[in-house]
Structure 1
């Protein structure tokens, strides 16, 4: 079993450069790669939702309870830092609103893993002029799913 420690972005900013470098080395990051700080983390809206932050172990557990279709859509979602809902529907060969069951499954699984009934996995930003939505995950969750899906 792997140990897990979670540090908030605010806490990371308080660490010395040497400490940040040591943590980065243990995580297998390039020595020149900065750890995420508030200036490098995409803003998470303060809209009343608790956006899930899954580490690698939580992402693995999440995937164990997902259907193949949900895993396929998740893999498409994490190829980039964000995704267009309409483009994702096309890539997944689903019609408009054709992924409704996947969204329901993702929401239920997120709330099961977090134990939080108001937890959400996807941060949605509307693109009003296009009738589309842009979805994204928190940076930690995005990285964890990328790694878990690659295993």
Structure 2
């Protein structure tokens, strides 16, 4: 292959730089959707509480289950108190600014920029192996190896 042919072949492999990202894509998801809310916090605490109580009540003996259920309820009360304290401090009320995502003008670091061409592996060719195997069986493969016998065997 000549140098001109090689440069023409590698020119087709080069990737163009990525298209610019639209402003709506840069902004990310809706800020209201990612802000912490007291209701979501309390629902999470309640769901975890119910799951732990169900696991303890259905899998353990009565005395151990009752003890662990009381411990889970105590942790739940503490978590709810922390949630209400955070709400009083304004944690759940303040809107969070969404940082703007800035994309570099160049290509991504994982995309190859140079035309690196590796040779393809040689094609698999079993003709010689099949000929040797056929010779070992006296010129003809056993009947059970043929496709027609497997189709009629069912």
Higher helix share: 2
Higher strand share: 1
Q: Which is higher, the Rg of structure 1 or of structure 2?
A: 2
| Category of TM-score, reference length = shorter chain | under 0.3
Higher relative contact order, chain-length normalized (CA < 8 Å, sep 6+): 2
Q: TM-score, normalised by structure 2?
A: 0.22
